[in-house]
Amino acid sequence: AFRLFHSLFLVFSVIGMQVFLLHSVSSKLCVPAVRQVRRVYDEFQVAIYGENTYITVNGFHRGKAGAEPDLAGFRALSMEKKVEICSVPLSQPYFTYTILLIWTVTCLAEIRRAVRLLFSTLLSVPTVLVVEDVLKEKTITGMTRGMKAFIGVFCFLPRIAAAMLLNYLGCRWLLSTANLQDLFLNSLALEFMVVLPELLYNTFATDRGKRLTEETMLTAGEKAAVPLKGSIKSLLLSLTWVVFAVAWVYVYMVYVQSVLPGLELFVMIPINVGVPINIGCGPSSKCPAVKALRCEYAFKAKRSIPEDDITGDLDTASANAVFGHVEAEAERRAKEKRHETDARDDQADRIVIVSHRPQNRECSWATTGMCDRSASPTLRSSSKSPTFRGSDIAPSSFSCMLTRLDCQSKLCGAGKMEFACPQSHTSKDLGERMTDMRGASVGSMTSQQ
């Protein structure tokens, strides 16, 4: 009787602890994290849409459908705020998707173990009418209906339900994490809740109870639960779990998530970083702004870009854009010289590059950003280190890591990309550099005063 009471106590303790932890994760972790990430995204929406916003049911701003984002508002934010905005998990969808997929696979492994044990214990073992027919020595030959109902309701149902609910709450918590480093660490911290039943069993179960459990066998359950080696059924079953995990994470991020309601996933313009992500800043290790500047180019809502603007030939022009060495000094210098740069742009030399842009396309992406490129020998001797101001799809014609060039570009109707550059940098220097780097990929270059 004591052993039975001890076993039941462990079962209900596990259930109670799981319910308590799930409630705590929902109320004490998810709610504050969701509120924080909504506040950060609200500031981003106000910065790029201004008055063209509406208020969601949660009291935060969202850009109106069809409103064109103004990235100048984003650049006007402080560097700390830019980094905070660019640390929102949904701004890095591929990394976030991978983390959520790993977490989902962890929960599915627990569900799969429970389903296999459920099948071998309740479905494969015969149902008997009397308790005397249940056990023969150390082999379970059958179970009564009451025993199967008790085990199913108090053992398997809570285990499977807890894993499913924990997966949902974990995805919500991870998606609302305001820091990409914490996103990875939180995914590791969640795993202890999955292994909680096994932890309590290994800690509090008696040695005699563990030994009896290990020595007790099922007549046909375990064999029936494991398919024959190399069977097609086993392969298809494993593939089903994989497909379900991949599909569930995508559906959650795109359709189910309520962390940022009304959000359309960010479109990541294809780029070639040129250096490892963990280096990011090229030859310099002092680059606190690199994440914010990368994010500035990628932060475009799907509804703001026509579909053919992110497919086809546009990828050819954008895939070579290089984001490199960006120093903290660039932010201060950009603010000091903003008015001076705007005045010089009006008197700039203009270089026209014929790209593979589709015809009859209106001018778009006249936004400005910051991008480092490797200087040519002519530009390297410059006493100044100005900032390159380019479009989202600025070609990799200039590859500057040591000095930067003041330019402003936009993409216009008949497939032409225009660069407006200060007169201090002649079109001849730029043309020579672009010819060296792009070769046949650049159709033609002309200059006009």
Q: How far apart are CA 110 and CA 65, in angstroms?
A: 42
| Least confident residue range of 107-111, 224-228, 231-235, 269-273 | 269-273
Q: Which of 34, 68, 33 is nearest to 48 (CA)?
A: 68
**Which DSSP state fits 380?**
H
Most confident of 107-121, 298-312, 435-449: 107-121
For tokens 């994490």, name the residue: 177
pLDDT digit string, tens, across residues 311-326: 223 232 332 332 333 3
Percentage of the chain exceeding pLDDT 90: 10
Q: Is the pLDDT of residue 438 over 80?
A: no
> Between 74 and 302, where is the model more confident?
74
**How confident is the model over 231-260, as a mean pLDDT?**
88
Sheet order of strands, 416-421 included: 408-412, 416-421, 349-354, 445-448
Q: How far apart are CA 385 and CA 406, in angstroms?
A: 9
Q: How far apart are CA 353 and CA 131, in angstroms?
A: 86
Q: What is the pLDDT of residue 1?
A: 67
C-alpha atoms less than 13 angstroms from C-alpha of 446 in its C-beta half-sphere = 4
Question: What are 62's strand-pairing partners?
Answer: 54
- pTM higher than 0.85: no
For tokens 């779990």, name the residue: 241
Q: How far apart are CA 143 and CA 133, in angstroms?
A: 8
Residue 46 phi, psi (nearest 5): -65, -35
Q: HEC profile for 303-322?
A: HHCCHHHCCCHHHHHHCCCC
38 three-class SS: helix
**How confident is the model over 418-431, as a mean pLDDT?**
42
What are the sequence ranges of the domains in the chain? 2-256, 290-448
- The average confidence (pLDDT) of the chain is 64
Q: What is the pLDDT of residue 179?
A: 82
Q: In angstroms, what CA-CA distances link 437 with 365, 419, 444?
A: 23, 16, 13
Q: Which of 102, 268, 99, 118 is nearest to 174 (CA)?
A: 99
Q: How far apart are CA 17 and CA 166, in angstroms?
A: 13
For tokens 């546009």, name the residue: 314
Question: What are 411's strand-pairing partners?
Answer: 364, 417
Q: What is the pLDDT of residue 67?
A: 80
Amino acid at 3: R
pLDDT digit string, tens, across residues 182-220: 888 888 888 888 888 888 888 888 888 888 777 776 665
Please check whether residue 336 is in contact with residue 383, taking contact to mean a CB–CB distance below 8 angstroms: no
Q: What share of the chain is helix, strand, coil (3-state, %, to 5)?
A: 55, 10, 35
- Who's near 34: CB < 8 A, 6+ residues apart? 172, 176, 259
Sequence length of the chain is: 449
Q: What is the pLDDT of residue 3?
A: 77
134 three-class SS: coil
Residue 28 phi, psi (nearest 5): -100, -20
pLDDT digit string, tens, across residues 258-317: 888 766 544 333 333 332 333 232 333 333 333 333 333 333 333 333 333 322 232 323
Q: Is the pLDDT of residue 347 over 70?
A: no
Long-range own/partner contacts, residues 402-410 (CB < 8 A, 24 or more apart) = 402/325, 402/374, 402/375, 403/375, 403/379, 404/330, 404/372, 404/373, 404/375, 405/373, 405/375, 405/379, 406/341, 406/344, 406/345, 408/345, 408/348, 408/368, 410/363, 410/364, 410/365, 410/366
